[in-house]
Amino acid sequence: MAPLDRLPTGIASLDLILKGGLLRGGAYIVQGHPGAGKTVLANQIASHRIGQGGRVVYLTLLSEGHDRMMAHLAQMSFFHPEALVGHLIYISGYTELETNGLSGLSRLVRTEVERHGAELVVLDGLFAVEETASSSHAFRRLVHELQAHAHVTGQTMLLLTNSRHNPASPEYTMVDGWIEMADVRAEGRVVRELEVHKFRGSDVIRGRHRYRITHQGIEVYPRLESLSGLQPAPPLDTAFASSGMPKLDLMLRGGFAAGSATLLVGPSGTGKTVASLHFAGTATPENPCLFLGFYESPERLRHKASGIGVDLAALETAGALRLHWRSPAEMLVDEVARWLLDEIERTGARRLVVDGLAGFQQNLIESGRMGRFLTALGNELRALRVTTLYTSAMTGNGQSAAPEAQGVAELSPLIDSVISMRLVERNEAMSKLLSILKVPDRDFDARITTYTIGPGGIALAG
């Protein structure tokens, strides 16, 4: 069976969610509260279609004038008014709707679409039609007429409307698709989420996906879990990646397994970041490292590394290392994960440090998602043959031999190796202890080892 003809939106991540874009000849409701970005989304899709040689009719039923709307859109990088002349036709249907009712509006849509040969039609303000309709039956009949007209002519139609109290209303069953743009509030913050509730004739990536409105327009970040498994599984790798600490490599019987994930856990002050700098310091231009930190800036990391004899600036100049810092304050984890995977593919990085798993944990919002998220991220990193070192703080006082990672206690089955760094009071002084808790499929030195941190970095006893 031949695939259905698609009309890409021009937003790559949204087209990924829609498995290629909207269907030609389909009618879609885009629902969201005022300010959700419906108008931005519709104009962004329209601008892309015009860039591909198409023509668009944009019919508004709102009191806001086109000049004001275009002034707002002019702040977006996708919107180029000079390129839209003669290709994007803005029409106000407000007067027609008020004067001649629903039949007049239906006639206006058909007439203008035929006159301009549009492949995409946007009707902005469907809720105004419902408020004007003499009955719910008359409103549903108009929606049916618009949907049938799209099918017959092969045009794609976007019907923009405000959030409704009853999304089970018949018009949602009549159209070919229903996309919701919503705000989600949790712990004092608000994030934007997009969900495809219905998409006739094609599979989609289900669930809620975060999005932003930026100067580039709508940017959508599909949930990482929904994309996991798209990368082919790599063959088993028997090589090792050095930890940057020779004695730890001996305890590990060779170092970290290439393509594996290691969790380094311990309370503040135990040297987790220092250990990460040792690992990053062994990177080469042939096997580069990407260092993602949430709590220490690149400048601070360079200064800290210089104190243990690791010249991060030289590694950066040689193309062996890239430092990247993201503030953990209200970031979108799927945005960071997507950037991370794209950057690894772009640079060919074979080592990754994520310094501070709490940066992800604090921004997931949904309780219980951390395991699914980290599993998906780990699967993608393994497919890219990346050896990963995560660091995490821990709960408790750090005295036990098997401390509990902060917010990630359930992650042990998802991590290949676990190394504990802790503090113990001895003779009125604090001693630092390191122990390897877990390494899969091979022997390792499980003895508790003391260590110090000095000018040469971490020095293990023995």
Buried b (16+ CB within 10 A) or exposed e, 201-214: ebebeeebbbbebe
| pLDDT of 407 over the 60 cut | no
| pLDDT of 200 over the 60 cut | yes
Identify the residue with better confidence: 428 or 276: 276
Give the mean pLDDT of 209-217: 95
**Average pLDDT of the chain?**
89
Task: Quote the CA–CA distance of 172 and 140 in Å, as a whole number.
Answer: 10
Give the mean pLDDT of 434-451: 93
Confidence of residue 240 (pLDDT cuts 50, 70, 90): very high
Q: Three-state SS for 9?
A: coil
**Quick one: pLDDT at residue 235?**
61
- Please report, for the chain, the start and end positions of each structural domain, with discontinuous segments joined by +: 6-222, 240-460
pLDDT in tens, 93-105: 989 999 999 999 9
Write down the architecture of domain 6-222 according to CATH.
3-Layer(aba) Sandwich (3.40)
| pLDDT of 384 over the 70 cut | yes
Angstrom distances, CA of residue 313 to CA of 299, 308, 356: 10, 14, 22
Residue type, position 51, single letter: G
**Quick one: pLDDT at residue 227?**
84
| pLDDT of 195 over the 90 cut | yes
Prediction pTM value: 0.86
Task: Provide the percentage of residues in the chain whose pLDDT is more than 70.
Answer: 91
Strand partners, 6: 23
Q: Which of 27-31, 208-212, 233-237, 412-416 has the lowest mean pLDDT?
A: 233-237
Angstrom distances, CA of residue 59 to CA of 72, 87, 91: 17, 14, 5
| Highest mean pLDDT (candidates 71-75, 242-246, 360-364) | 242-246
For 335-340, which contacts have Cβ atoms below 8 Å and span 24 or more sequence positions?
335/210, 335/212, 335/219, 335/221, 336/292, 336/360, 337/224, 337/373, 337/377, 338/13, 338/221, 338/222, 338/224, 340/290, 340/292, 340/377
**Quick one: pLDDT at residue 22?**
97
Confidence of residue 398 (pLDDT cuts 50, 70, 90): very low
Name every residue whose Cβ is closer than 8 Å to that of residue 48 and which is 6 or more positions away in sequence: 8, 9, 10, 11, 78
DSSP codes, 344-404: HHHHT--EEEEE-THHHHTT--STTHHHHHHHHHHHHHHHTT-EEEEEE-BSS-S-SSSPP
Same fold, 6-222 and 240-460: yes
Confidence of residue 411 (pLDDT cuts 50, 70, 90): low
**Quick one: pLDDT at residue 250?**
96
**Quick one: pLDDT at residue 81?**
86
| Contact present, 346 and 386 (Cβ < 8 Å) | no
| pLDDT of 301 over the 50 cut | yes
**Total count of residues recorded for the chain:** 462
**Quick one: pLDDT at residue 328?**
83
Q: Give, in words, the CATH class of 240-460.
A: alpha beta
